[in-house]
Structure 1
Amino acid sequence: MKKEIFDFLKTIIIAGVIAILITFILKPTLVKGNSMNPTLDSNNYLVIEKTFSFINNIKNDDIIVFKTDLLNIDGSRKDLIKRVIGIPNDRIEIKNGNVYINKKKEDVFFNKDVNTSGDIKLTVPKDKFFVLGDNRANSLDSRSEEVGLIDKKSIEGKVIVRLFPFNRIGRVK
């Protein structure tokens, strides 16, 4: 009887530790809106990695989730999902519908016909990131004053996998 109780408690403790670890490392999130089409669609169910090692190693083309000062209907801060275009010290220029990163034209692998509106020329400051939605014509991103440059502290994590819809399960790039 003692052995069975011990085994039961051991199982509960191990399950609790695993649940806590997963809670601190992974977070589910739901895409709302079409600003990341064609890569992500509204109602895609994603898992993000929210470890400090990732946040300290963000690179161009990572898709991140971050808190903004925009508010949801319930008054909470709104999360956005966007692609990192510029990391600290990158020189970003948008002109004639094209994005240039350190004077090199962006390779838009997700949509060859993308046209990026705006006229921007800046160097990304330390601990800030420049982000754009993949659906450039319909995205509230770093081009707008409401979002602007993303502070490292507001980043919740990197999108690592899509769980739904089932026919598109897998890593997200």
Structure 2
Amino acid sequence: MPLAKEKETQEELSSGDSLKLDLYFWLQALVMALVALILIFTMVGRIIGVDGSSMVPTLHDHDMLLLQSLGYEPKQGDVVVLTKDSFLPQPIVKRVIATGGQTVEIDYRAGTVTVDGVVLDEPYINEAMQEPYFESITSVEVPEGSIFVMGDNRNNSSDSRDPRLGLVDERYVLGRALFILLPFQNFGAIE
């Protein structure tokens, strides 16, 4: 009888060891998946929230965005997230109006933005642009390695027209906003 009990105890231990081993492998797989996700979001893309209404109607306050970071170079028309601590401590979201080598002209009377002599077709802006309360930049040639950005809600946006932000060095760009992730009713690609 004692031999049978000893055998039964060994079977129970091996069953318990098997459960521990399975748990160990599942935990290891979960940790590896988490590390992979962290590396992907750190190097390839990021998730960031919108703070404010300067990009209405394209983006709204508290929208959560997926960014493309790795290998991204700003292009005219892209919606980008940038940071410039001397302007604001938190990241800001704006649309690229011009890149290095392009010339921007802003005509508040006509309500137009011209890049290299061509008036931009801007179906994404919220309303007709009015002259801001601050001393605005109205004409500028963008140097190589910099971008000129504006919010889609032109009358409620501190952007490159404001000398406090001005032209933005491309190194301050965190990435291009690709998708709205949250809230779910706004989910989709950003144009």
Q: How does 1:22-61 map to 2 (within 5 A)?
A: 22-51=41-70, 53-54=71-72, 56=73, 58-61=74-77
Residues 111/155 of structure 1: CA separation in 2 closer, same or farther (3 Å cut): closer
Structure having the higher Rg = 2
Superimposed CA distance per residue, residues 60-117 of structure 1 (whole angstroms, 9 cap, x where no aligned partner): 110111111134xxxxx22111000000011100113210011000111213843253
| Residues paired across the two proteins, number | 165
Structure 1 position 86 matched with structure 2 position 88: no
Residues 33/112 of structure 1: CA separation in 2 closer, same or farther (3 Å cut): closer
Give ranges in structure 2 of 5+ residues lacking alignment.
Answer: 1-17
Corresponding position of 2:140: 122
Distance 1:32 1:126 in 2: 29
Q: In the alignment, is the contact (CA less than 8 A) between 2:57 and 2:126 conserved in 1?
A: no
| Structure 2 SS opposite 1:94 | strand
Deviation at 1:41, TM superposition (A): 0.9
Residues 112/145 of structure 1: CA separation in 2 closer, same or farther (3 Å cut): closer
Corresponding position of 1:150: 168
Residues 21/112 of structure 1: CA separation in 2 closer, same or farther (3 Å cut): closer
Residues 9/169 of structure 1: CA separation in 2 closer, same or farther (3 Å cut): closer
Superimposed CA distance per residue, residues 119-157 of structure 1 (whole angstroms, 9 cap, x where no aligned partner): 611110010000000010010000011111011111111
Residues 123/164 of structure 1: CA separation in 2 closer, same or farther (3 Å cut): same
Distance 2:159 2:47 in 1: 22
Distance 1:107 1:5 in 2: 58
Distance 2:126 2:154 in 1: 12
Structure 1 position 108 matched with structure 2 position 125: no
Q: In the alignment, is the contact (CA less than 8 A) between 2:83 and 2:173 conserved in 1?
A: yes
| Structure 2 SS opposite 1:153 | helix
**Which structure has the highest helix share of the two?**
2
Q: Which amino acid aligns with 1:92?
A: V
**Which structure has the highest strand share of the two?**
1
Give ranges in structure 1 of 5+ residues lacking alignment.
Answer: 72-76
Please report the TM-score for the alignment, with normalisation by the length of structure 2.
0.77
Residues 138/29 of structure 1: CA separation in 2 closer, same or farther (3 Å cut): same
Please report the TM-score for the alignment, with normalisation by the length of structure 1.
0.84
Corresponding position of 1:167: 185
